[in-house]
């Protein structure tokens, strides 16, 4: 099994993070212990590499400007949501604006920010709603650099879940971001960012290899770090 896996994820000595083989094994990971062990090792390796990125390391630094004794670690452990989907987010941000990365077994990866609005695992919906309000204020602000990334995007991926409306995902224009964040009465989960299908990588043709994947993820959080910091600062200063 492991010889085959090594052949699958290494091509000419390059680690193919998001190859079709990777996602096939991701989908089948629960079927054998070997696959499960391989997946855990691979995801942890990916996490360690992402955590070494310059802009990823800055996320907890930004957060610590308003949270005393906040974690110095960037990304924590991968979480499996029971639907062939694994995600990872910045340590300590469950009830905040949550820097978040996810992978699906249907050959997709996403990077962006999420809001977890339930009480599960000691969540704090009231605090998180305040973060959402802070994000809306930042998105409404035309100050240079604060929301320039979102304004320059013509195709933003969003997803949501609520018991009333179930799960949905769409692509929206940047001008619809505020409507997206304020149009839910009782959401349990909201996410906005970018999603890539590895079968449709013409726009980012080298996304499959480790170097390009790291660059894509790190660049995204670098370009949105002013947004993240501004949301945290508004939250801190709002009574």
pTM above 0.85, yes or no: yes
Helix (H) or strand (E) holding 126, with range, is helix 125-140
**Mean pLDDT of all residues belonging to the chain:** 82
The residue whose two tokens read 């993240």 is 228
Residue 203 φ/ψ region, left for φ over 0, alpha for ψ in the -120 to 50 degree band, beta for the rest: alpha
Encode pLDDT of 181-216 as tens digits. Answer: 998 888 899 999 998 876 665 544 445 667 778 888
Q: What is the pLDDT of residues 6-58, one digit of tens each?
A: 444 444 444 556 666 677 767 776 555 666 777 778 888 889 989 999 999 99
Q: pLDDT digits over 146-163, tens only? A: 888 898 888 899 999 887
For the chain, the structural domain boundaries read 2-237
10 Å CB burial of residue 12 (0-12, 13-18, 19+) is exposed
Query: How many residues make up the chain in this entry?
Result: 239
Res 37: pLDDT: 75
Q: What's residue 214's pLDDT?
A: 85
Mean pLDDT, residues 89-109 taken together: 90
Q: Using DSSP, state whether 216 is helix, strand or coil.
A: helix
Place of tokens 């000595």: 13
């Amino acid at each position: 099994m492991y010889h085959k896996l090594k052949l699958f994820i290494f091509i000419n000595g390059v680690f193919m993070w998001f190859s079709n083989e990777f996602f096939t094994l991701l989908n089948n990971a629960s079927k054998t212990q070997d696959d499960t062990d391989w997946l855990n090792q691979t995801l942890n390796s990916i996490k360690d590499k992402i955590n070494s990125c310059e802009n990823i390391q800055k996320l907890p630094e930004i957060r610590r400007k308003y949270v005393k004794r906040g974690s110095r670690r960037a990304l924590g452990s991968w979480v499996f949501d029971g639907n062939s989907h694994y995600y990872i987010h910045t340590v300590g941000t469950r009830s905040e604006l949550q820097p978040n990365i996810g992978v699906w077994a249907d050959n997709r990866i996403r990077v962006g920010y999420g809001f977890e609005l339930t009480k599960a695992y000691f969540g704090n919906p009231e605090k998180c709603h305040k973060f959402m309000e802070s994000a809306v204020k930042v998105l409404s602000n035309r100050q240079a650099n604060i929301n320039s990334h979102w304004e320059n995007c013509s195709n933003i991926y969003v997803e949501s879940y609520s018991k009333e409306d179930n799960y949905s995902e769409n692509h929206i224009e940047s001008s619809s971001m505020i409507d997206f964040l304020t149009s839910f009465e009782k959401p349990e989960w909201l996410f906005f960012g970018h999603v890539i299908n590895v079968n449709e990588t013409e726009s980012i043709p080298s996304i499959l290899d480790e170097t390009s994947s790291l660059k894509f993820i790190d660049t995204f959080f670098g370009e949105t770090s002013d947004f993240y910091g501004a949301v945290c600062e508004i939250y801190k200063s709002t009574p």
